[in-house]
């Protein structure tokens, strides 16, 4: 009996030792997540008591495998290791049970089909055992709201439903690397209107758009009681969507039979804005990564600090509407990083940000090796250079994109862009874009607006002038584009929907497009309007050489304007308008080129800069 009890006692001791050993092993292999700081768009956030929401999604760092979905109410333990934490204030909507076990590498938040779901989700934050430091995780809005709002006071009873079709460029959000699925998608929603369009308003929650790229396209189909389309109207330009903001687009549905809506306003407001009237003091959305200048900031000090900060890879400055700044001579004489200077987008009639620039702008090195820069960009600005704008002498650089968008230049005293170097391929531009810009009272004389040195190979491979105006007091022999004859490889030039006016007359040249040294030269010149004072027997529109492929169509000139040589083939010549310059434009001398006659072919066929058709 004693022997049996001893055996039993020994057996229980073994079990107890085994249990204690397991407990000790478990304690060694796991750690407790005790502290975390959660933010929503940079502001502290916490889950309300009593709510069972589980905002944390946890994945293995190396494999991306799903581990757990936890609430933030309590501490929890995880096996020792490296994890990726993802958080959302609306977890059941963004990562429902049906996709809960999806590998992080494959996890995509899709655009909601009805555009009614905000996406607020953090980056996949690395957090490793023993979890001694608090977890910091910020849930960021990846979407913004687009509000379409009709301003009509007169109804149109021919339709009773508005079907909005919004074409987005981004159809999904990849959680693992905070990137987007860049696949176009149509989001469609219909709304009844018993008052023929009056008070039509509809909201769409959409992924934000890159500021460098076009936004979403909006098409409105007006349907009758049978579902048939009475007519279709479309906004004439893409609309940008900003995270955690409301983009309010106001327009008339019934004010025109024109399928293109050209008269509308775009206002960026806080996401929760609900007031009837826009308060100019309300904050506006800032493109991601930009430094906002206060009205009393010294732009030279801010720029130099960013330029000299090794942690800053691109200088991005945002200027509020109505503010004014001035770069001192020399501040921009040695650009060494990508540069973006963007003004706040304004509605018609509101003043843009003004930026004066003393001296020349330049960039690059003198090492014999071109400095690579991705982007030089000016947007939504009233630009006032004091001399030649960009002028390069022996600096070495290679730039992917030079962008001037929605800018006004008034009384530009000399050239806008001129390259000069003592060696071939020391100055290279891959893409040069002027879009939605107005140059008023140009004084070019013998200097080209965009010119290259004609002794060395200093190429600009792709040049686009689009939806812009070139109004010149003096347009001399050097032309708006000149000295392309040394460009090697492939050259592409597009001049589309531009208005060109030369008030000086004389032996002018508009475009000197000589592709003598190219392997291939692709040329598009269409939907342009040419005007000005001219003298019989003098002047040339296009000087062309070695053009491989060409589309020169649908161009017009004002009645009475003459040139010695259009420089094109038979059938490519511009067509005269019915009206002369003085009768067609509001005030061509001062540069107000609004089209007075809404029945003119220029207005009806959308010829020239669309800015003047509004």
Q: Which domains occur in the chain, in start order?
A: 31-141 (2.60.40), 143-270 (2.60.40), 286-390+400-422 (no CATH), 450-614 (no CATH)
**pLDDT tens-digit profile of 480-533?**
898 899 999 999 999 999 999 998 877 778 899 999 999 999 999 999 999 998
The alpha carbon of residue 585 and the mean position of all alpha carbons in its chain are separated, in whole angstroms, by 31
C-alpha dihedral, 39 to 40 to 43 to 46, nearest 10°: -60
**Per-residue pLDDT, 102:** 95
What is the number of helices (H) and of strands (E) in the chain?
Answer: 5, 48
Residue 161 has a pLDDT of 96
pTM exceeds cut of 0.95: no
Distance separating alpha carbons of residues 162 and 196, to the nearest angstrom: 9
Per-block mean pLDDT, blocks of 10 residues, the chain (614 long): 39 40 52 91 81 90 96 91 95 91 95 94 95 93 94 92 96 94 94 91 91 79 94 92 89 91 86 54 63 85 93 92 92 93 83 91 83 95 86 87 95 83 89 96 80 85 96 77 91 97 82 93 97 84 95 97 92 96 96 94 96 92
Long-range CB pairs of 600-607 (<8 Å, 24+ gap) are: 601/556, 601/577, 602/529, 602/556, 602/577, 605/527, 605/554, 606/260, 606/497, 606/527, 607/497, 607/527, 607/528, 607/529, 607/554, 607/555, 607/556
Contact status, residue 318 vs residue 290, Cβ threshold 8 Å = yes
CA atoms within 13 A on the CB side of 195: 9
pLDDT value, residue 140:
93
User: pLDDT value at position 607?
Assistant: 97
Residue closest to 127 by CA, chosen among 73, 196, 56, 180: 56
pLDDT of residue 10: 38
Q: Running DSSP on this structure, what letter comes out for residue 240?
A: -
Which are the contacts of 252, defined by CB distance < 8 A and separation ≥ 6?
150, 151, 152, 261, 263, 264
Q: What is the pLDDT of residues 136-186, one digit of tens each?
A: 999 999 999 999 999 998 899 999 999 999 999 999 999 999 999 999 999
Residue 218 pLDDT: 96
Task: Name the 3-class secondary structure at 23.
Answer: helix
Rounded Cα distance between 266 and 477, Å, is: 41
CB atoms within 10 A of CB 130: 10
């Amino acid at each position: 009996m004693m022997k049996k009890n001893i055996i039993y006692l020994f057996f229980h001791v073994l079990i107890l030792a085994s249990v204690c050993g397991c407990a000790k092993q478990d304690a060694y292999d796991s750690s407790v997540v005790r502290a975390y700081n959660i933010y929503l768009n940079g502001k502290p956030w916490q889950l309300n008591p009593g709510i069972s929401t589980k905002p944390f999604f946890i994945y293995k760092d190396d494999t991306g495998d799903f581990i757990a979905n936890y609430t933030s109410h309590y501490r929890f333990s995880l096996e020792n290791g490296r994890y990726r934490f993802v958080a959302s204030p609306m977890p059941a909507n963004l990562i429902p049970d049906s996709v809960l076990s999806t590998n992080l590498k494959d996890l995509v938040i899709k655009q909601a089909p009805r555009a009614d779901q905000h996406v607020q989700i953090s980056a996949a934050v690395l957090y490793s055992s023993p979890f001694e430091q608090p977890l910091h995780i910020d849930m960021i809005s990846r979407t913004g709201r687009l509000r379409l709002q009709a301003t009509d006071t007169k109804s149109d009873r021919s339709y009773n439903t508005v079907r909005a079709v919004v074409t987005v460029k981004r159809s999904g959000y990849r959680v693992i690397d905070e990137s987007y699925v860049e696949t176009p998608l149509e989001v469609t929603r219909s709304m009844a209107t018993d008052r023929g369009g009056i008070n039509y308003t509809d909201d769409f929650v959409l992924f934000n758009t890159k500021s460098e790229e076009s936004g979403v396209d909006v098409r409105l189909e007006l349907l009758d009681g049978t579902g048939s389309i009475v007519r279709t109207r479309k906004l004439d330009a893409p609309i940008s969507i900003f995270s955690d903001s409301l983009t309010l687009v106001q327009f008339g549905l019934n004010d025109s039979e024109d399928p293109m809506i050209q008269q509308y306003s775009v206002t960026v407001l806080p996401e929760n804005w609900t007031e009837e009237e826009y308060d100019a003091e309300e904050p506006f959305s800032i493109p991601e990564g930009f430094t906002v200048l206060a009205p009393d900031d010294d732009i030279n000090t801010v720029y130099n600090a960013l330029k000299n900060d090794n942690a800053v890879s691109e200088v991005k400055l945002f200027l509020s509407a109505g503010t004014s700044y001035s770069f001192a001579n020399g501040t921009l004489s040695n650009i060494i990083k990508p540069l973006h200077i963007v003004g706040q987008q304004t509605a018609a009639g509101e003043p843009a940000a003004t930026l004066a620039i003393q001296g020349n702008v330049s960039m690059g090195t003198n090492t014999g090796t071109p400095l690579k820069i991705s982007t030089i960009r000016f947007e939504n600005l009233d630009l006032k250079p004091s001399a030649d704008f960009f002028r390069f002498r022996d600096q070495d650089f290679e730039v992917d994109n030079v962008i001037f968008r929605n800018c006004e230049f008034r009384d530009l005293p000399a050239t806008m862009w001129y390259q000069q170097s003592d060696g071939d391929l020391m100055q290279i531009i891959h893409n040069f874009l002027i879009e939605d810009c107005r140059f008023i009272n140009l004084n070019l004389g013998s200097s080209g607006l965009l010119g290259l040195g004609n002794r060395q190979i200093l190429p600009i491979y792709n040049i686009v002038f689009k939806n812009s105006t070139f109004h010149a007091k003096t347009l001399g022999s050097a032309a708006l584009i000149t000295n392309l004859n040394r460009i090697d490889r492939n050259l592409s030039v597009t001049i589309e929907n531009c208005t060109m006016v030369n008030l000086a007359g004389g032996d002018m040249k508009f475009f000197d497009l000589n592709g003598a040294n190219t392997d291939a030269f692709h040329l598009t010149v269409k939907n342009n309007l040419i005007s000005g004072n001219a003298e019989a027997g003098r002047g040339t529109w296009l000087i062309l050489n070695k053009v491989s492929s060409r589309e020169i169509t649908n161009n017009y000139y004002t009645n009475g304007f003459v040139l010695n040589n259009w420089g094109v083939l038979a059938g490519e010549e511009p067509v005269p308008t019915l009206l002369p310059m003085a009768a067609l434009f509001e005030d061509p001398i001062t540069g107000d080129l609004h089209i007075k006659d809404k029945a003119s072919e220029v207005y009806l066929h959308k010829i020239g800069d669309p800015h003047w058709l509004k």
